[in-house]
Structure 1
């Protein structure tokens, strides 16, 4: 369904040049008066806004419609009396259909100016010519990508040495720990991934006396393959590896069969011993409910959970006392997995300048603090509400060592995740020994990398 962002969004392109935003907040935050400019100008040619408006067409997910647009409209309602010269319209599709919709629309000549891009699809859209290089825009505005954004967010903006998309929404994960449960068993907060195993050994119990354990240390979320790389995989990153890495000569290689990789697979298998027997059927919703009910000591916690009212209420109702801490470290230190959204500009767009001004606007730190529904990819945004609240500080710190599951996404990423996830799951379930699972995964991933010219 197509909707217009109405008058609250149309003046995005002039506000970058003409307005200073002060104190915009999310729905539960305070609002302060914002000064308004005395004159309305067209960002393209400086003419009065009596001219026909420029229509910028974008495509995003239905989740974006419910979250980011709602927040942005709330902030921009302060400027609703400014005459528009640009109108922004988005098509909204479910997340699962987004990439296919963009590809088919482009092939059919239905071109978009602004395209919502998932972190893993930047390479495929760039390779297909769907999104354009943004190097010149970045250069003209003197933007240092690695100064403006955290490293993981800046890294994923690039493909083949060029910038193709700009991050505006990011996530990372920390560890939620039931502090009351740890105190009961006289345990300290986990500092290493091995500590997680010791905690799981100590707290896994049959509390009902029916011969079936009903309290656990940490659930291994392996109901799908992606959690293997994004949730458990962050301890592979803490071991100094990713699903595949980049050599100095630019080639890609999987080192899962190395000592560090096998150590991670062994860790997964051992930790899996202290999980429910039917853990293969446990999705994230079931796992979070178990943590909220006080049945699990540790839970991988995303920032979006802070706004999950039902989850937070369950914690309160059950009087669960918990701390959010940095992820326990591995052989190489502390790390966390990342995800996120970016904006690209359509290669066939006739309004690239206006599209760029929109992207630049929503990545101003104070605006982005209002706009993004997850975490801001810019540390400067954590000086503004709501990210300047104490509960976000652990996420800000974790972002500094956050990483994507690979150093460079390739069009074959999803297929390789399946290979990795299947072998890791087989290891956790005891169907493969860690050494074999790690070596099988590395072998098949390297074969695919070679076939696609990455080696």
Structure 2
């Protein structure tokens, strides 16, 4: 019993000495580092590709390289729901999400609201920015001299054709609008069309901007004759039966699905759709594939990206910056491209690196030969896009005359693009 009491006294004394020692130094961190296990930095990312195996492997590899624990949560698939959820997270000061994947429309709004951490000093330095499309960074990712996002996925608006339609029409390629009309003449099924699109009021903005590019117009100037001619050509395609009135309610998901089913001979769609067409077993040189742009007036197309933003309310900013530095680096973009099988946002990686992506040569041709434009977006982009889309739908359905539409479109621009 005496031995037991003595052992207890010794144990209590040792504990007291340990506590006293800690208090004298003011912090447990002053003890030898070998006495403790250093926890890994933690990070939570809300991401569009959370459920894709390639992205999951990219995150696993990033965890190893950065000695970090990364939790990935899925963004809603529906664009409106996604925008609403992310807006709520940022506006409410939600601390549970550190990094968020956003598109051009979202960054154009969020970068003005104080929700995001600026990244030009620690991540998007002058040297790092050289690898990305410069004008795009300035107009989409930047505001008031700051950079608020890190692009990770490049999406180029490409011209896609269904080779079976071309073969039926006796066309080697579609070089201009006349060829699109030739394509239509060869179609005997009344439920098929030479050209398909997504003209739902929140999606048609992309097509309007693309056709304005083709005609050498200016989306911000609806008194410009070339801008006017661009939308006149879209209306004429509908009137001439080159395209379907059913697409007035279609978003990209419906457009892709109809193209896969063989309803359209050609479409304009972002490069990222390649995975969708491949997974549907319709991708290939004799089926659906990318093609050079037809010649209208100008050879220009839109580019867009998905980007990371750093939540200003994040409690893990150090870990977030560490991850972003990797994601923005040449190495990180190469890893992303190879694992996720998507085109990275860095132009130097696309141009120089053997990343073994399908259609990479066609994407390089677009980057080298065509003018690449960032879409003109404003702070309240979704409302502006929707309003312009509604005006366009009224116009192509004959509910307003040309001059009335152009005047209303210009008022829309003056209201939102200040």
Q: Residue 221 of structure 2: SS of its match in structure 1? A: coil
Tell me the residue number matched to 2:193: 216
Tell me the residue number matched to 1:23: none
C-alpha displacement of 1:403: 2.3
Tell me the residue number matched to 1:27: none
* Further displaced range: 299-308 or 48-57: 48-57
**Conserved 8 A contact 1:133-1:164:** yes
Per-residue deviation, residues 135-159 of structure 1 (Å, max 9, x unmatched): 21147x55252x2112464232212
CA distance change for structure 1 residues 427 and 298 in 2, over 3 Å: closer, same or farther?
A: same
Determine the C-alpha separation between the residues in 1 that align with 2:207 and 2:53. 24
C-alpha displacement of 1:391: 1.7
Determine the C-alpha separation between the residues in 1 that align with 2:143 and 2:120. 11
Q: Residue 293 of structure 2: SS of its match in structure 1? A: coil
1:404 counterpart (374, 377, 381): 374
Tell me the residue number matched to 1:235: 211
C-alpha displacement of 1:362: 2.0
Determine the C-alpha separation between the residues in 2 that align with 1:60 and 1:215. 36
Matched, 1:342 2:319: no
After TM superposition, the score normalised by the length of structure 1 is: 0.71
Q: Residue 359 of structure 2: SS of its match in structure 1? A: helix
2:201 counterpart (217, 225, 240): 225
**Conserved 8 A contact 1:326-1:394:** yes
Q: Residue 169 of structure 1: SS of its match in structure 2? A: strand
Tell me the residue number matched to 1:256: 222
**Conserved 8 A contact 2:111-2:143:** yes
C-alpha displacement of 1:412: 1.5
**Conserved 8 A contact 1:117-1:342:** yes
Matched, 1:70 2:95: no
**Conserved 8 A contact 1:262-1:435:** no
Determine the C-alpha separation between the residues in 2 that align with 1:124 and 1:277. 31
Tell me the residue number matched to 1:170: 154
Tell me the residue number matched to 2:237: 271
1:326 counterpart (286, 289, 292): 292
Tell me the residue number matched to 2:344: 376
Q: Residue 226 of structure 1: SS of its match in structure 2? A: coil
Q: Residue 216 of structure 2: SS of its match in structure 1? A: coil
Pairwise mapping of residues 185-196 of structure 1 onto structure 2 (< 5 A)?
Answer: 185-192=169-176, 194-195=177-178
C-alpha displacement of 1:305: 2.9
Q: Residue 59 of structure 1: SS of its match in structure 2? A: strand
Pairwise mapping of residues 50-65 of structure 1 onto structure 2 (< 5 A)?
Answer: 50-61=37-48, 63-65=49-51
CA distance change for structure 1 residues 160 and 312 in 2, over 3 Å: closer, same or farther?
A: same
Q: Which has the larger radius of gyration?
A: 2
Tell me the residue number matched to 2:166: 182
Pairwise mapping of residues 88-99 of structure 1 onto structure 2 (< 5 A)?
Answer: 88-95=70-77, 96-99=80-83
CA distance change for structure 1 residues 241 and 221 in 2, over 3 Å: closer, same or farther?
A: same
CA distance change for structure 1 residues 88 and 284 in 2, over 3 Å: closer, same or farther?
A: closer
Unaligned 5+ residue runs, structure 2? Answer: 1-32
**Conserved 8 A contact 2:197-2:267:** no
Determine the C-alpha separation between the residues in 2 that align with 1:292 and 1:65. 23
C-alpha displacement of 1:336: 2.0
Determine the C-alpha separation between the residues in 2 that align with 1:230 and 1:164. 23
Q: Residue 148 of structure 1: SS of its match in structure 2? A: coil
Q: Residue 300 of structure 1: SS of its match in structure 2? A: strand
Tell me the residue number matched to 1:428: 396
CA distance change for structure 1 residues 226 and 237 in 2, over 3 Å: closer, same or farther?
A: farther
**Conserved 8 A contact 1:325-1:394:** yes
CA distance change for structure 1 residues 323 and 126 in 2, over 3 Å: closer, same or farther?
A: closer
2:327 counterpart (362, 372, 393): 362
1:124 counterpart (84, 89, 109): 109
Question: How many residues in Structure 1 have an aligned counterpart in Structure 2?
Answer: 373
Q: Residue 137 of structure 1: SS of its match in structure 2? A: coil
CA distance change for structure 1 residues 67 and 432 in 2, over 3 Å: closer, same or farther?
A: farther
Determine the C-alpha separation between the residues in 2 that align with 1:315 and 1:144. 35
CA distance change for structure 1 residues 64 and 172 in 2, over 3 Å: closer, same or farther?
A: farther
CA distance change for structure 1 residues 75 and 277 in 2, over 3 Å: closer, same or farther?
A: same
Tell me the residue number matched to 2:24: none
2:409 counterpart (441, 446, 450): 441
Tell me the residue number matched to 2:5: none
**Conserved 8 A contact 2:160-2:290:** yes
CA distance change for structure 1 residues 176 and 381 in 2, over 3 Å: closer, same or farther?
A: same
C-alpha displacement of 1:115: 2.8
